[in-house]
Amino acid sequence: MRAAFVKQVARECGFALAGIARAVPAAEAAYFHDWVDAGFAGAMGYLTDHRAGVRDDPRHLLPSARSVLCVAKLYNTPPAASADTIPAGHGWVSRYAWGEDYHEVIRRDLEQVVERLRAASPEPFEARICVDTAPLLERAYAQAAGLGWIAKNTCLINEDIGSWVFLGEVLLSLDLDSDVPPPDRCGTCTRCIDACPTQAIVPTGRVPEWALDARRCISYFTIELRGNIPDEHRGGMGNHIFGCDVCQDVCPWNRRAPVTADAAFAPTHFAPPLEELGVLPPEEFRARFRHSPVTRARYRGFLRNVAIAMGNSGEARFREPLERLASSDDPVVARHAHWALGRILEEQTA
């Protein structure tokens, strides 16, 4: 089976980009371990436990792997908005979470790819589908497969469609011709670094020159961190209640990014009103965000995030819902609601 046919099948199954990398240890493996050793993974234990070593080589996941089919699916969706353009009193949900859970969408489409390849192959082969829940350095393999380069903000950027993409992989026992990595086209641009509200993109003093310190990142705070968000970063979170797109919003390569036609990523959860979210009981939270990445934050974390956004708004109308949250039996929710009430008081008396 030829690589060109495999990539064509992937594109016909809805992926904007497709490329082939060799199933060998990732060139960036040492950098990943240095990043972990520096503490930049924060409390994300799944990046630092025994799975850290598995990520180095696809053959840990599929011993017979010879090739890695890497794909990218566009999720850029109207409206063309950002956290600083939505109405006051609304919360920013990262663009990738406006629609359905991408894990389900990517896996479903990759299953179609594998099914079509099996039907076309004269010989049986082994395959393993990976989305970003699998222990694989997927951006490193996507770069090796020619899909784009890893930028200063650590996102993968393609010069034709930008960085609003989800990645997926299929490990294959097929021996396919591999693609060539593209050059890094970030140049001297530092817009993502300069725009980050919490200065999470930090110098490394080595190559690559920049790294993402998750312990300062709004996406990490609002999605991955389970406990208290450091006081010094709460103000910088603004109206973000799930994720952050600032470093992609300001990227010049996203100025002309095409828009997806995939109905799965329609903006169902775009900029919801904070007033509604602050009073959601657990069952309504689960129902509202069913099949959405937003559930990754969990109910407690979501209310914590909403409380911070209410406080950062400085609007007196949020005092009543914050007072209710401040009386919560959950100490994390209550603590952040008390902080938010103090923030509003500061704004009202300034």
User: How far is residue 268's CA from residue 126's CA, in Å, rounded to a whole number?
Assistant: 37
Band of pLDDT at residue 338, cut at 50, 70 and 90: very high
Q: What is the pLDDT, as a whole number, of residue 60?
A: 95
User: How far is residue 200's CA from residue 210's CA, in Å, rounded to a whole number?
Assistant: 10
Q: What is the pLDDT, as a whole number, of residue 133?
A: 85
Q: What is the pLDDT, as a whole number, of residue 290?
A: 94
Q: What is the pLDDT, as a whole number, of residue 348?
A: 81
DSSP 324-342: HHHT-SSHHHHHHHHHHHH
User: How far is residue 170's CA from residue 130's CA, in Å, rounded to a whole number?
Assistant: 6
| Percent of the chain surpassing pLDDT 90 | 93
**What type of residue sits at position 146?**
G
Quote the DSSP letter at residue 146: T
The catalytically annotated residue of 57, 132, 184, 330 is: 132
User: How far is residue 138's CA from residue 316's CA, in Å, rounded to a whole number?
Assistant: 45
Mean of per-residue pLDDT scores for the chain? 96
CA angle centred on 217, ends 214 and 222, rounded to 5° = 105
Separation in Å, CA 44 to CA 40, 51, 216, 225, 298: 9, 12, 13, 8, 15
Active site residue 132: yes
Q: What is the pLDDT, as a whole number, of residue 226?
A: 96
Q: Is the pLDDT of residue 80 over 90?
A: no
What tokens does 88 get? 């006051």
User: What pLDDT, in 10s, does the model give residues 239-259?
Assistant: 999 999 999 999 999 999 999
Q: What is the mean pLDDT of residues 162-190?
A: 98
Q: What is the pLDDT, as a whole number, of residue 112?
A: 99
User: How far is residue 249's CA from residue 84's CA, in Å, rounded to a whole number?
Assistant: 11
At residue 239, the 3 state secondary structure works out as coil
User: What pLDDT, in 10s, does the model give residues 111-151?
Assistant: 999 999 999 999 999 999 999 889 999 999 999 999 999 99
CB 75 within 8 A of CB 164: yes
What tokens does 216 get? 């300062």
Q: What is the pLDDT, as a whole number, of residue 207?
A: 84
Q: Is the pLDDT of residue 311 over 90?
A: yes
Band of pLDDT at residue 50, cut at 50, 70 and 90: confident
DSSP 150-196: E-TTS-EEBTTTBT-EEEEEEEESS------PPPP--TT--HHHHH-
Please tell me the number of Cα atoms within 13 Å of 214 on its side-chain side: 19
Looking at the chain, list the stretches that DSSP marks H as alpha helix, in order from N- to C-terminal side: 3-12, 29-37, 45-48, 51-54, 102-120, 138-144, 191-195, 218-219, 231-234, 246-249, 274-277, 282-288, 298-313, 319-326, 331-349
Burial class (CB in 10 A: 0-12, 13-18, 19+), 182: middle
334 CB neighbour count, 10 Å cutoff: 17
CB 124 within 8 A of CB 95: no
What tokens does 258 get? 């095409």
User: What pLDDT, in 10s, does the model give residues 213-240?
Assistant: 999 999 999 999 999 999 999 999 999 9
The pTM is what? 0.95
What tokens does 82 get? 């950002």
Q: What is the pLDDT, as a whole number, of residue 306?
A: 99
Max Cα separation, the chain?
A: 75
Q: What is the pLDDT, as a whole number, of residue 79?
A: 85
At residue 252, the 3 state secondary structure works out as helix
User: What pLDDT, in 10s, does the model give residues 258-283?
Assistant: 999 999 999 999 999 999 999 999 99
CB 13 within 8 A of CB 112: yes
Q: What is the pLDDT, as a whole number, of residue 54?
A: 84
Please tell me the number of Cα atoms within 13 Å of 7 on its side-chain side: 20
